[in-house]
Homo-oligomer: A and B are copies of this chain.
């Protein structure tokens, strides 16, 4: 692990919070993390901005009203019902918010005022509802996981598993922004056209029969760039304010039939889930790693994608895990089972490279935009990060402890992503979870399935 820049007292592992749960070993939300979310409570259903601390949510809207340490533009942004305004103030503002919040929650430093109002400012995490962190103006999904591209390509186009452009172009497509949702609820199985059984025969129509997840990370953007002005690679990481877990739900049968030549459309746009929490880029500073080492023979990135600092610590060491709980498992009170793990360090392109590429044509990014990395598979069989890959398109189903098998997802299946970072000498930080439970397709409003 290369030493990343910007390590400061907010990363000091000795700091403790007066919220005791934040000080437990391996707590996901210690005082060194402080990820942001938009939350509400039964008592106050207005969505507002908070940070996670231990097992509590700390209400930044309320505390910023009473605290003069927050500069006025930040105070205004913290009154909003989404994080767009705060993100538009850029990483400097986010750093300030995290620093002040850490002081207010610090066991040794927090003033009487905060502690006196703690009951009012803190709400148990489990009793909050979460809202989409930003109004997502645009959502873009990359394809930067080379192990995924190779595994998926081997199934779809075995003669040419990795596209010829792969090692030059950070491939991406525009996703659907309106159907991005917080990963905590139901995901309805989509209807659509499924591939013909044989060439030159009609497709069939009905509920997707090959419903899948894709394990990705997402990141949110700061102020962005005006139309026509690329963001140079050396400045790109400053435009990334925070990271999250992202599930790029995929309907494989619909996808196979629809995607030539213009890419995935309905096979993705029924739902994309993100975790409620945005882990700030600053909190992740200790967990930056070198960009994936390119094997001998791979080309050097073109100039607009190459930056020495980005190569040195543009990567992310985030451990990722996928759990599955079927309806039958839940009925029997059996715990969810881990079906795979992976790590964000396997991405072929860094987030900064994605931003530089996205804007090289002048495309304007905007505060609150969401970018997905693409599915993050790893080199081992247990690190194939979609059902498509690790069941070889359903042909080698996963055996679950209760005897059930899964080639693709069934109705009632609940998929949970978890993520976290740990490193000797630093506090462990977590991303929370990104969860979705599959609901049966709704065939009531359209013509009959065939």
Residues of A within 8 A of B (CB): 137-138, 143, 153, 156-157, 163-165, 168-169, 171-179, 181, 188, 190-193, 199-200, 202-203, 205, 227-230, 232, 251, 254, 257-267, 269-271, 299, 302-304, 306, 357-358, 360-366, 369, 442, 445-448, 450
Contact = CB atoms under 8 A, between A and B. Distances in A.
Contacts of A358: 266
B203 A168 contact: yes
Contacts of A175: 174
Contact of A163 (B193, B260, B263, B306): B260
B232 A446 contact: yes
Contacts of A448: 303
- Of the candidates A181, A265, A364, the one having the most CB atoms from chain B within 10 angstroms of its own CB is A265
28 contacts: A137-B178, A138-B177, A153-B261, A165-B203, A168-B193, A168-B203, A172-B265, A174-B265, A176-B363, A178-B365, A179-B363, A190-B360, A191-B360, A202-B299, A203-B302, A205-B302, A205-B303, A205-B304, A229-B445, A230-B445, A230-B446, A262-B263, A269-B361, A269-B363, A270-B362, A302-B447, A304-B447, A362-B442
B171 A262 contact: yes
A350 to B, nearest CB: 16
Which 7 A-B pairs rank lowest in CB-CB distance, beginning with the nearest? A263-B263, A303-B447, A190-B361, A174-B174, A173-B262, A262-B263, A270-B361
Given A143-B262, A203-B168, A361-B192, A446 B304 contact: yes
A153 B261 CA distance: 10
A237 to B, nearest CB: 16
Nearest to A263: B263
A361 B254 contact: yes
A299 B205 CA distance: 14
A280 to B, nearest CB: 23
B266 A363 contact: yes
A164 B266 contact: no
B227 A138 contact: no
Contact of A228 (B153, B188, B251, B263): B188
B163 A261 contact: yes
Nearest to A267: B361
B181 A271 contact: no
B266 A264 contact: no
Contacts of A202: 168, 299
Contacts of A156: 261
Contacts of A228: 188, 270, 442
A403 to B, nearest CB: 31
A258 B153 CA distance: 16
B264 A262 contact: yes
Contacts of A266: 357-358, 360-361, 363
A254 B450 CA distance: 40
A265 B362 contact: no
A176 B178 contact: no
Contacts of A445: 229-230, 232
A138 B140 CA distance: 12
Contacts of A258: 165, 169, 171
Contacts of A138: 176-178
B163 A362 contact: no
Contacts of A260: 163-165
Contacts of A143: 262
A337 to B, nearest CB: 28
Contact of A193 (B169, B254, B270, B363): B169
Contacts of A251: 361
